[in-house]
């Protein structure tokens, strides 16, 4: 029987392998909507870089839908219930999201919809395995990644095969609504984001192209190559996955096809799959422990005495710490909306363990600056690097930015790209310019404290201070 369906796009901005949209289109005419809700998420509303990406992603989706996508702005529940009042819908469909505020919103909204006699269905469009399904034999959630992935995920059902784009799409335009994409004001009038634009092809088509490029030229030697920021061995799919321009099922299926072909190393393939598993693990943690974004997973860290120093924080944010690999990472973040994963660990460790600044500061800055800002991944990763999270890096693991730079950027290609004022320094001194003789600094055009900052902290002293602080915390917990 034909039914008229209201479909809500959210973090699923694609037409292929979109289970909720596919199901809606099978039943008859669909009114497709996108609601920009900055009210319900409260402190977790999107940051600036995410809003820039969202604008362009919606623009591409709108074109795919022949400009039949309807835009709204305000409290999501109010708009949905208002549309149900104004127009006769038989059903409303959406794909599930797992942020705590969204889950509370969806449960309450669904109950009110069902009371009105309207069918309401949600689907899984963003995870390979749903977090409520992957638990230990006693029903409790996993807190360690390896058993979560190896025992919980890989021994569960296989990820489903991706869906095709609906063969027939009968879209309805809301003629009573005049809101256009530009009215959402997602783009800041001050075009600070202009430096990010050359680095990305946003939208479903761009996501598929990005996946193909990675499979063709980045997946081989992935396990080792992914640690070197100057090499092309990271997928850069994270923003496409977050906004749902591509689904993890599409990525998994493409990897499976390559596995069957047998053209690439199983070691590289399995390692990349495990990175998809880390994404699933982060979502599982957020689902089962909804306080993860702001509360220490390990409660003993509640007693930790973080420092407060706005000057140190600002130097870190601006990429002016005096440690070149750290500064390169922070400048890559600002210029591109992205940071290489190895460098994320280096910059994060420097913030919380050398500067002893709360991981919240890093979480908040990344939330505003990353185009792949994702509540589950961002909070789980910052707690991991701080040592306070589930299956976290131990407190005594403090990344040395000098040795990390020398090991993972040995020719300095990455660092020189983002810290050009040091480009003429020899490799020997690139990651420790304060040790370079004055004659070499002069030849390279470097004046420490003027053209490039002196180190804002002493590595050895700050490391000892951090170890002492963490050891006191450990003793206090025993």
Given the residues 205, 309, 341, 406, select the one marked as catalytic.
341
Question: Is 382 an active-site residue?
Answer: yes
Helix (H) or strand (E) segment spanning residue 190:
none
On whether the CB atoms of residues 253 and 162 are closer than 8 A, the answer is yes
Cα–chain-centroid distance for residue 229? 18
Q: Which of 30, 46, 44 is nearest to 92 (CA)?
A: 30
Given the residues 27, 101, 205, 306, select the one marked as catalytic.
306
Sequence-ordered list of residues with C-beta below 8 angstroms from that of 376, at least 6 positions apart, any chain: 98, 99, 279, 282, 283, 285, 286, 292
Question: Is 53 an active-site residue?
Answer: no
Given the residues 52, 129, 200, 359, select the one marked as catalytic.
359
Q: Which of 232, 170, 241 is nearest to 204 (CA)?
A: 241
Q: Cα dihedral sign for 359, 414, 52, 254?
A: negative
Give the separation between CA 373 and CA 182, rounded to whole angstroms. Answer: 22
On whether the CB atoms of residues 429 and 440 are closer than 8 A, the answer is yes
Helix (H) or strand (E) segment spanning residue 293:
none
Residue 187: CB atoms within 10 Å: 16
Question: Is 52 an active-site residue?
Answer: no
Question: Is 334 an active-site residue?
Answer: no
Starting at the earlier edge strand, list the strands of the sheet with 5-9. Answer: 70-73, 30-36, 5-9, 91-95, 119-123
DSSP state of 374: -
Given the residues 200, 278, 334, 367, select the one marked as catalytic.
278
Please count the CA atoms within 13 angstroms of the CA of 348 that sit on its side-chain side: 26
Given the residues 382, 384, 400, 421, select the one marked as catalytic.
382
Sequence-ordered list of residues with C-beta below 8 angstroms from that of 268, at least 6 positions apart, any chain: 219, 220, 221, 222, 223
What is the token pair recorded at 79? 């708009």
With b for 16 or more beta-carbon neighbours within 10 A and e for fewer, the 434-449 pattern comes to eebeeebbeebebeee
3-state SS track over 408-477:
HCCCCHHHHHHCHHHCCCCHHHHCCHHHCCHHHHHHCCCCECCCECCCCCCHHHHHHHHHHHHHHHHHHH
Give the separation between CA 60 and CA 10, rounded to whole angstroms. Answer: 14
Question: Is 306 an active-site residue?
Answer: yes
Question: Is 192 an active-site residue?
Answer: no
Give the separation between CA 374 and CA 377, rounded to whole angstroms. Answer: 5
Helix (H, G, I), strand (E, B) or coil at 11: coil
Q: Which of 219, 228, 238, 453 is nearest to 346 (CA)?
A: 228
Given the residues 130, 205, 275, 406, select the one marked as catalytic.
275
Known catalytic residues? 275, 278, 306, 341, 359, 382
């Amino acid at each position: 029987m034909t039914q008229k369906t209201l479909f809500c796009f959210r973090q699923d901005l694609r037409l292929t392998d979109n289970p909720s949209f596919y199901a809606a289109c099978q039943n008859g005419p669909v009114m497709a909507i996108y609601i920009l809700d900055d009210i319900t998420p409260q402190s977790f509303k999107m940051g600036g870089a995410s809003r820039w990406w969202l604008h362009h992603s919606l623009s591409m989706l709108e074109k795919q839908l022949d400009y039949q996508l309807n835009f709204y702005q305000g409290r999501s529940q109010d708009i949905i219930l208002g549309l149900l009042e104004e127009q006769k819908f038989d059903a409303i469909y959406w794909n599930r999201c797992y942020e705590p505020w969204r889950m509370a919103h969806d449960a309450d909204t669904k109950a009110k919809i069902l009371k009105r006699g309207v069918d309401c269905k949600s689907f899984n469009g963003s995870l390979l395995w749903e977090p409520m399904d992957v638990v230990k034999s006693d029903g409790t959630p996993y807190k360690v990644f390896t058993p979560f992935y190896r025992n919980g995920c890989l021994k569960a059902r296989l990820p489903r095969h991706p869906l095709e784009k609906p063969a027939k799409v009968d879209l309805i335009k809301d003629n009573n609504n005049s809101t256009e994409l530009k009215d959402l004001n997602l783009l800041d009038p001050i075009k600070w984001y202009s430096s990010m634009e050359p680095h990305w092809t946003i939208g479903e088509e761009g996501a598929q192209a990005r996946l193909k490029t990675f499979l063709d030229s980045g997946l081989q030697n992935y396990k080792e190559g992914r640690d070197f920021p100057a090499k092309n061995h990271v997928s850069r799919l994270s923003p496409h996955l977050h906004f749902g321009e591509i689904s993890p099922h599409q990525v998994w299926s493409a990897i499976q096809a390559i596995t069957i072909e047998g053209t690439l190393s199983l070691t590289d393939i399995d390692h990349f799959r495990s990175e998809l598993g880390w994404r699933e693990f982060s979502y599982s943690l957020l689902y089962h422990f909804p306080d993860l974004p702001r509360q220490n997973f390990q409660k003993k860290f509640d007693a930790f005495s973080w420092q407060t120093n706005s000057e140190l924080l600002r130097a870190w944010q601006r990429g002016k710490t005096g440690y070149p690999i750290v500064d390169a990472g922070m400048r890559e973040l600002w210029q591109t909306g992205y940071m290489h994963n190895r460098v994320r660990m280096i910059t994060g460790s420097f913030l919380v363990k050398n500067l002893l600044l709360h991981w919240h500061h890093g979480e908040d800055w990344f939330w505003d600056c990353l185009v792949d800002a994702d509540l589950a991944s961002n909070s789980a990763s910052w707690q991991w690097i701080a040592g306070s999270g589930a299956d976290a890096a131990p407190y005594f693991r403090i990344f040395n930015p000098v040795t990390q730079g020398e090991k993972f950027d040995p020719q300095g290609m990455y660092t020189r790209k983002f810290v050009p004022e040091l480009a003429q320094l020899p490799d020997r001194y690139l990651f420790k310019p304060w040790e370079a003789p004055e004659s070499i600094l002069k030849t390279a055009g470097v004046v420490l404290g003027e053209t490039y900052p002196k180190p804002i902290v002493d590595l050895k002293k700050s490391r000892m201070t951090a170890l002492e602080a963490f050891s006191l915390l450990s003793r206090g917990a025993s």
